[in-house]
Amino acid sequence: MKKLIIIITIILSFLLITGCRKEEEKKKEPIKNNSNYNSLVLYFSATGTTKKVAKKIAIVTQSDIIEIIPTEKYKDEDLNYNSDCRANREQNNPKARPPIKNTIDISQYDVIYLGYPIWWGTNPKIILTLLDTYDFSNKIIIPFCTSGSTDINGSVNDLRKYNPKLTILTGRRFTTDVTTKEILEFTDKELNTMKVKINDVEYEMTLENNDTVKELMNYVPFKGTMQELNGNEKYLYLDKSFKTNSTNPKRINKGDVMFYGDNCLVLFYESFDTTYSYTKLGHIDNLPNLGNDSISIEFIR
């Protein structure tokens, strides 16, 4: 009897330990964004602060990660802003382009999470070296930064001015204690929503997760005039053909944004049944009745 009790105790202990291990494995399992984008976290970090944030973003988004390594490493004296230090000289020199030591392959990625510290209110000049060296066309760049207090807006505006052809989204400033929830909220908002202005009133469009939307992200920003049709929709022919995958939704909902064919952008402001096929791009909540007149529309990064 004693032997039987000992055997049962051992079995129960084994099952309990195995269950605990499985539970720990579940907790350690990284959380993946609801996205079909192939993504990379690409970052520059002189002191290690941005590196900590970059690693967290890479884990949460299940992205690859690459560090931008300067040929000449930044020492403490190079970052002493109260002196004529190297960082100050570079930031004050419009032509400064610190060389990058490592070769970086971004060819396989759709989305680049680009991280950097804020120096003198903007991005370090090595980020411009990066943009000069590699082809970021047809990539979605999502910036993130670290700083004592300065927001990311100024650096993003500077990057957009430096190369207006690139798709650079809004971005966000983080601290090293950023949580998984904050990262998920940030990445979901950047990849899954887009600002749309209709007659100068701003709305938020929730995006579909498909290849046509990927292509649209690289076409934004753009604006135009949408014409009236059928008392329920507005349409605009774009100057580019997109890869589409049309299906019949059977039911159109007020606020749906779609492609008819490969370049006719359609915004529906009434709900109805349909026999036509479309490629859905997204949906705008709280869209008013737009009436029978043409409207101005602008898609914003």
Q: What is the CATH number of the domain that holds 130?
A: 3.40.50.360
DSSP E strand stretches across the chain: 39-43, 64-67, 111-117, 140-146, 167-168, 172-173, 193-198, 201-207, 222-229, 233-237, 251-252, 256-260, 264-268, 272-273, 279-284, 295-300
The parent domain of residue 264 ranges over: 199-300
Tell which of 134, 159, 192 closes a domain: 192
Does any domain span residue 103? yes
* Predicted pLDDT at 155: 98
Whether residues 57 and 181 fall in one domain: yes
**Can you give the pLDDT at residue 22?**
43
Q: Which of 174, 192, 210 is the last residue of a domain?
A: 192
Residues 282 and 164 in one domain: no
Mean pLDDT in order along the chain per 10 residues (301 residues): 48 47 39 66 98 98 98 96 93 97 97 97 98 96 95 97 96 97 96 96 96 94 97 97 97 98 98 98 96 96 85
Asked if residue 205 belongs to a domain, the reply is yes
pLDDT for 15: 46
Structure tokens at 260: 């008819």
pLDDT of residue 35: 52
Give the total number of structural domains in the chain. Answer: 2
